[in-house]
């Protein structure tokens, strides 16, 4: 993109001659009314969009079951044969083996999420998710069948690719099909399923850990096949994203799937208006972000200046850094290391119970976001959520450090950790996923979401690797002081959200694109659209526009 194009884009003045339009697009008639850029939706249509959130179960269950399984006696005996003769209480896997088994999945998900971005543009969002379910099942079967480390690790790597496909493209798919007024709530449903997955994993582990057969680990691993089957088969019956067909230039197909998604007749004027808007926006973006080759379409994600709010580079950095900051809140410290940490504090009799409680608080608090994310907006809840988390973490750090070993003080620390989880689950948990699905323009959306999801897995993995060194009694042994670090990082999240995250609530994805061009994050909540893309590219029939204006 030339710098003059960028200037024009900055000023929101980009015009496109109707002669430049794709032939199919020229037949469309859009609206000049900024409130009519999306068709009405029926209950059935809401349900279709909501189904995809089920994909979150993969993510949560996969993150949740492995630490428990690695502590199971039969699993240790199978994958670390030199432990067989030790008494039960002394058996454990060496850290390097634990780290390999845990992190190999993140490696798979990291690359899976990036590759999935390409596939979603070539073959469609829906097919990429179905392929992810299939790959995941192959990996899972290898893991269930394994009784040697090599096969287990290979299985986890393959499954990781599948989880990467699913976790990135579900967000893309849901953001593209959901109606704008409930898009945040529906994508938060995905986060809710993540939390359910974590909960189911701890319950299944609890149920099978006492078995002294290979079923103790094969059941928790094998159960995941069910999630893949439900999601894969369910998606088979759902329509593709209309934005995918628009990107492919197939307007007729886009109309067909949009009508199914909104549960309206093909020839409905509302479908016509919504489609015209998506097409017009894409025609403008295509002109601004030409993608002549495979590499240039990747390069497009990094184009523009970092100081420009709406440049592709800025959006890519925003998506990737938002996911990084979500990991920096320290939430996975509680979910991955909670049990060990509470045991090491020494004053808690049933550490497992406490981690079950934190997992339950996570599940029960997430639905609050279905309402708050649409009522107060993404930006607001991210700022207030970070404030809430930082306060709780500093209190936990101060009380835990000043009154080390005091039973009542530890109860207070645990209560504040639960309130911290409440803040995470109702704000940053869903918020980070919702925002990455909304900030990218169509030409780079699938890759942008893929890169952002990969960043989540990357930082998730880094935290998994370094945390034991911070709190391990034979290492940094920080104890409750570790919450000073998480509290400090949450303080950075406040500043980050205030200066960098724009408000996207209630806008169509095309209007988000325009908002980012016309204002900065701090002014974004007040921004309102004044024109439609259809109007700009001349896809409005004059008689219709006249009637709309009179109304």
DSSP state of 209: T
Taking CB atoms, the residue at the shortest distance from ligand BGC is 429
Contact status, residue 239 vs residue 257, Cβ threshold 8 Å: yes
Q: Toward ligand BGC, which CB reaches closer, 191 or 208?
A: 191
The count of other CB atoms within 10 Å of the CB of residue 478 is 18
Minimum distance, C-beta of residue 419 to ligand BGC, in the bound complex (Å):
15
CA distances from 332 to 271, 411, 457 (A): 43, 20, 12
Q: Is 101 in the site for ligand BGC (CB under 6 A)?
A: no
Between CA 312 and CA 320 the distance in angstroms is 12
Question: Minimum Å distance from CB 10 to ligand BGC?
Answer: 33
Q: Which is nearer to ligand BGC, 128 or 195 (CB)?
A: 195
Nearer Cβ to ligand BGC (211/462): 462
- The torsion angles phi and psi of 27, rounded to 5 degrees, stand at -75, -15
Closest to ligand BGC by CB, 109 vs 281, is 109
Tell me which stretch binds ligand BGC (CB under 6 A): 99-107, 222-230, 292-300, 324-332: 324-332
Sign, CA torsion 16/22/25/27: positive
Q: Least CB distance from residue 415 to ligand BGC, whole Å?
A: 19
* Separation of alpha carbons 267 and 256, rounded Å: 10
Residue 326 vs 339, nearer CB to ligand BGC: 326
19-27, 129-137, 330-338, 520-528 -> range binding ligand BGC (CB under 6 A): 330-338
Site string for ligand BGC, 501-530 (x = CB under 6 A): ------------------------------
Neighbours of 509 (CB within 10 A): 24
Cα–Cα distance, 240 to 260 (Å, whole number): 10
Least distance to ligand BGC from the beta carbon of 144, Å? 24
- Minimum CB separation from ligand BGC for residue 138, in Å? 24
Residue 211 or 364: which CB sits closer to ligand BGC? 364
User: In terms of CB distance, is 198 or 276 closer to ligand BGC?
Assistant: 198
Q: Please, which residue, 120 or 198, has the CB nearer to ligand BGC?
A: 198
409-438 binders of ligand BGC (CB under 6 A) = 429
Residue 253, both tokens:
């197909």
Alpha carbon distance 68, 22 (integer Å)? 55
Eight-state DSSP code of residue 503: P
Q: Which stretch binds ligand BGC (CB under 6 A): 22-30, 326-334, 409-417, 492-500?
A: 326-334
Q: Are 167 and 135 in contact (CB under 8 A)?
A: no
The least distance separating ligand BGC from the CB of residue 209, rounded to whole angstroms, comes to 21
Nearer to ligand BGC, 369 or 524 (CB): 369
Q: Which ranges in 43-124 belong to alpha helices (H)?
A: 43-51, 56-70, 73-79, 95-122
Distance CA 390, CA 329 (A): 9
63 binds ligand BGC (CB under 6 A): yes
The DSSP-derived string for 476-525 is: T--GGGHHHHHHHHHHHHHHHHHHHPPP-TT--HHHHHHHHHH--GGGGG
Q: Is 55 helix (H, G, I), strand (E, B) or coil?
A: helix
Q: Residues 377-416: x/- map of binding to ligand BGC (CB under 6 A)?
A: ----------------------------------------
Shortest Cβ 362–ligand BGC spacing (Å):
5
| One residue of 143, 332, 427, 446 binding ligand BGC per CB under 6 A | 332
CB of 331 to ligand BGC, least distance (A): 5
Please state the closest distance from residue 148 (CB atom) to ligand BGC, in A. 29
State both tokens at 220: 């928790």
Q: Which of 255, 280, 284 is nearest to 270 (CA)?
A: 255
Stretch of 235-243, 305-313, 329-337, 486-494 lying at the interface with ligand BGC (CB under 6 A): 329-337
Binding flag, residue 28, ligand BGC (CB under 6 A):
no
Taking the complex as a whole, the smallest distance from the CB of residue 392 to ligand BGC amounts, in Å, to 16
DSSP annotation of 28 reads -
Contact yes or no for 373/379 (Cβ under 8 A):
no
Q: Which two tokens stand for residue 94?
A: 């060496």
Which C-beta is closer to ligand BGC: that of 25 or that of 114?
A: 114
Closest CB to ligand BGC among residues 67, 208? 67
The CA-atom distances, in angstroms, between 350 and each of 89, 342, 346, 470, 508 are: 16, 9, 10, 23, 48
DSSP string, 188-229: HHHHHHHHHHHHHHHHHHHHHTT--STHHHHHHHHTHHHHHH
Integer Cα distance of 529 and 532 in angstroms: 8
Exactly one of 107, 322, 331, 419 binds ligand BGC (CB under 6 A); which one?
A: 331
Alpha-carbon gap, residue 273 to 31, rounded angstroms = 6
Q: Nearest approach, Cβ of 529 to ligand BGC (angstroms)?
A: 30
Query: What would the DSSP string read from start to end of 361-386?
Result: HHHHHTTHHHHHHHHT-HHHHHHHHH
Which residues 439-498 are close enough to bind ligand BGC by CB under 6 A? 456, 460
- 326 forms part of the interface with ligand BGC (CB under 6 A): yes
- SS3 for 523-549 is HHHHCCCCCCHHHHCCCCCHHHHHHHH
* Residues of span 149-208 touching ligand BGC by CB under 6 A: 191, 194-195, 198
Closer CB to ligand BGC, 198 or 444, in the complex: 198
Nearest distance from C-beta of residue 72 to ligand BGC, angstroms: 21
- The residue among 399 and 449 lying less far from ligand BGC, judged by its C-beta, is 449
Report the residue from 103, 216, 297, 362 that binds ligand BGC according to the rule CB under 6 A: 362
- Closest by CA position to 98, among listed 520, 372, 472, 505: 472
Number of residues binding to ligand BGC, judged by CB under 6 A: 13
Length of the chain counted residue by residue: 551
- Positions that interact with ligand BGC (CB under 6 A): 63, 191, 194-195, 198, 326, 331-332, 335, 362, 429, 456, 460
């Amino acid at each position: 993109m030339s710098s003059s194009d960028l200037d024009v884009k900055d000023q929101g003045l980009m015009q496109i001659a109707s002669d430049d339009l794709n032939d199919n697009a020229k037949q469309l008639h859009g609206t000049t009314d900024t409130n009519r850029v999306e068709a009405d939706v029926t209950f059935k249509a809401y349900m279709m969009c909501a189904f995809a959130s089920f994909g979150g179960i993969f993510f949560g269950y996969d993150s949740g079951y492995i630490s428990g399984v690695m502590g199971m006696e039969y699993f240790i005996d199978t994958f670390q044969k030199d432990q067989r003769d030790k008494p039960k209480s002394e058996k454990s896997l060496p850290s390097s083996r634990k780290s390999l088994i845990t992190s190999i999945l993140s490696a798979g998900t990291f690359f899976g999420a990036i590759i999935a971005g390409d596939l979603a543009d070539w073959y469609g969002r829906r097919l990429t998710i179905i392929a992810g379910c299939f790959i995941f099942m192959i990996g899972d079967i290898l893991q269930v069948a394994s009784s040697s480390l090599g096969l287990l690790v290979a299985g986890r790597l393959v499954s990781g690719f599948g989880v990467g496909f699913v976790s990135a493209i579900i967000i893309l798919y849901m953001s593209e099909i959901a109606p704008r007024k409930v898009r945040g709530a529906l994508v938060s449903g995905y986060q809710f399923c993540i939390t359910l997955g974590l909960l189911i994993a701890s319950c299944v582990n609890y149920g099978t850990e006492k078995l002294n057969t290979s079923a103790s680990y094969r059941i928790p691993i094998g159960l995941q096949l069910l999630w893949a089957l439900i999601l894969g088969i369910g998606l088979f019956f759902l329509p593709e994203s209309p934005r995918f067909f628009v990107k492919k230039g197939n307007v007729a197909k886009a109309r067909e799937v949009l009508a199914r998604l909104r549960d309206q007749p093909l020839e409905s004027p509302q479908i016509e208006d919504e489609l015209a808007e998506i097409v017009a926006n894409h025609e403008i973006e295509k002109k601004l972000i030409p993608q002549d080759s495979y590499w240039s379409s990747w390069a497009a994600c990094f184009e523009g200046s970092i100081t420009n709010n709406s440049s592709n580079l800025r959006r890519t950095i925003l998506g990737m850094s938002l996911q990084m900051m979500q990991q920096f809140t320290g939430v996975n410290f509680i979910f991955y290391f909670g049990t060990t940490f509470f045991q090491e504090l020494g004053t808690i009799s049933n550490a497992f119970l406490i981690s079950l409680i934190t997992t339950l608080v996570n599940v029960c608090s997430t639905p609050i976001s279905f309402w708050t994310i649409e009522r107060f907006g993404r930006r607001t809840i991210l700022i207030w959520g970070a404030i809430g988390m930082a306060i709780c973490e500093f209190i936990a750090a101060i009380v835990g450090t000043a009154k080390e070993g005091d039973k009542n003080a530890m109860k207070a620390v645990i209560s504040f950790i639960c309130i911290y989880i409440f803040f995470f689950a109702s704000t940053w948990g869903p918020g980070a996923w919702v925002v990455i699905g909304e900030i990218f323009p169509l030409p780079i959306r699938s890759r942008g979401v893929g890169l952002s999801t990969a960043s989540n897995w990357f930082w998730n993995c880094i935290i998994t690797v370094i945390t034991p060194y911070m709190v391990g009694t034979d290492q940094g042994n920080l104890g409750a002081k570790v919450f000073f670090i998480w509290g400090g990082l949450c303080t950075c999240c406040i500043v980050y959200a205030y200066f960098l995250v724009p408000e996207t609530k209630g806008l169509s994805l095309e209007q988000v694109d325009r908002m980012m061009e016309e204002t900065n994050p701090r002014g974004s909540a007040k921004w309102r659209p004044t024109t439609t893309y259809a109007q700009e590219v001349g896809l409005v029939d004059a008689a219709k526009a006249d009637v709309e204006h009179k109304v």
